[in-house]
Amino acid sequence: MTTHDFSDKVALVTGGSAGIGLATARAFARAGARVVIAARGVEAGRAACNAIMAAGGVASFVATDVRDEAAIIAAVAHARDAYGRLDLAVNCAGAGGDMAPLEHASQAVWDDVMAVNARGVWLSMRHEIPAMLAAGGGAIVNMSSIYGLAGRAAHHAYVASKHAIVGMTRSVALEYAARGIRVNAICAGVTATPGMRQAEAVVPEVVAGLVAEHPMKRMATEDEIAATALWLCSAGAGYVTGTPLAVDGGFLAA
Ligand SMILES: NC(=O)c1ccc[n+]([C@@H]2O[C@H](COP(=O)([O-])OP(=O)(O)OC[C@H]3O[C@@H](n4cnc5c(N)ncnc54)[C@H](O)[C@@H]3O)[C@@H](O)[C@H]2O)c1
């Protein structure tokens, strides 16, 4: 599948115990990187590491809630302590929040979605970057969404948080472009993760409607999103920074 060689690299993946994050962690390991999975789900995180190691890869798990700065600091410190450096990070941890008309929307949901998606990515970069500078450079990919570049009715917190990710990706890219760190975002369309399959089981008409809005009329696979993250981290993307890259079956072309 992948032709990248990350055998001298250390990669950290937040939210790496499930869905797109897990697919990315596996793809990094297959490409030779040593991987730190920084995720909330302890059982799922350990299982992901064990599966990677059983397949001949190198991975470790650090229980990490990205709302907690100390946990992010510990995850980055683990990369340096266990593997000596941090070169690459894919910040996947994300919260969806509820869909609700504005006049019924909850401030608690707003605060939590912003804490995970916006502040979580900001805090992650804030601690990943010094470690990458110490390693002589690096690359970061932040998981935004088609809703980082387009609106969606009744999904304000998610949409605002994903736009925030695009904005901070551009700003941090500008800040570190001359210091060897590239920062990009993936604006993913609807992706066939376990979470999305669960939603499909509960509200099939909503998910079918979402898929129908994508010109390719199908979901992305987790591996298609992971492959883009790996490419953005690779030397082949060496002149790409500050870019929100749509991987969306044509959604944003409309
Ligand atoms: N699935 C999709 O259709 C889709 C589309 C566009 C963007 N995305 C984004 O991709 C990323 C991954 O989403 P997914 O669909 O693979 O999984 P998901 O939406 O089911 O869960 C996201 C991941 O983040 C983790 N997470 C949630 N809150 C966390 C916290 N406070 N601290 C640490 N980890 C936390 C979860 O455990 C999970 O691993 C998210 O940022 C999501 O917004 C997903």
Ligand 1 pocket, mutate which of 62, 64, 92 (most atoms under 8 A from CB): 92
What spatial distance separates the first Cα and last Cα of the chain, rounded to whole Å?
30
| Structure tokens that stand for 210 in this block | 């979402």
- The rounded Å distance from CA 178 to ligand 1 centre is 31
Query: Ligand 1: which residue has its CA nearest to atom 33?
Result: 65
91 CA: nearest ligand 1 atom: 41
pTM of the predicted model as reported, rounded to 2 decimal places: 0.98
| Alpha-helical segments (H) within the chain | 19-30, 42-54, 69-83, 107-113, 120-134, 156-176, 194-202, 204-212, 222-233
Verify whether residue 158 is a known catalytic residue: yes
- The rounded Å distance from CA 69 to ligand 1 centre is 18
> Which structural domains are found in the chain, ordered by start?
10-190+223-253 (3.40.50.720)
Residue numbers in the chain where pLDDT is lower than 70: 1-2
Q: Cα 104 vs. chain centroid, distance in angstroms?
A: 29
Sequence letter at residue 197: R
Question: What are the two backbone dihedrals, phi and then psi, of residue 209, each rounded to the nearest 5 degrees?
Answer: -65, -40
Element (H, E) at 67: none
- The rounded Å distance from CA 183 to ligand 1 centre is 19
- The rounded Å distance from CA 204 to ligand 1 centre is 20
User: What pLDDT is recorded for position 3?
Assistant: 72
User: What pLDDT is recorded for position 54?
Assistant: 98
- Please tell me the distance from the alpha carbon of residue 18 to that of residue 75, in angstroms, as a whole number: 17
> Which residues lie with the beta carbon below 6 Å from any ligand 1 atom?
15, 17-21, 39-41, 64-67, 92-96, 116, 143, 145, 188, 190-191, 193, 195-196
- Nearest Cα to Cα of residue 124 among 234, 41, 39, 222: 39
* Upper half-sphere CA count for residue 82 (Cβ side, 13 Å): 20
Catalytic residue among 83, 158, 176, 239, which? 158
64 CA: nearest ligand 1 atom: 33
CB 227 within 8 A of CB 27: yes
C-alpha to C-alpha distances, 40 to 37, 63, 118, nearest whole angstrom: 10, 5, 17
- Please tell me the distance from the alpha carbon of residue 184 to that of residue 205, in angstroms, as a whole number: 33
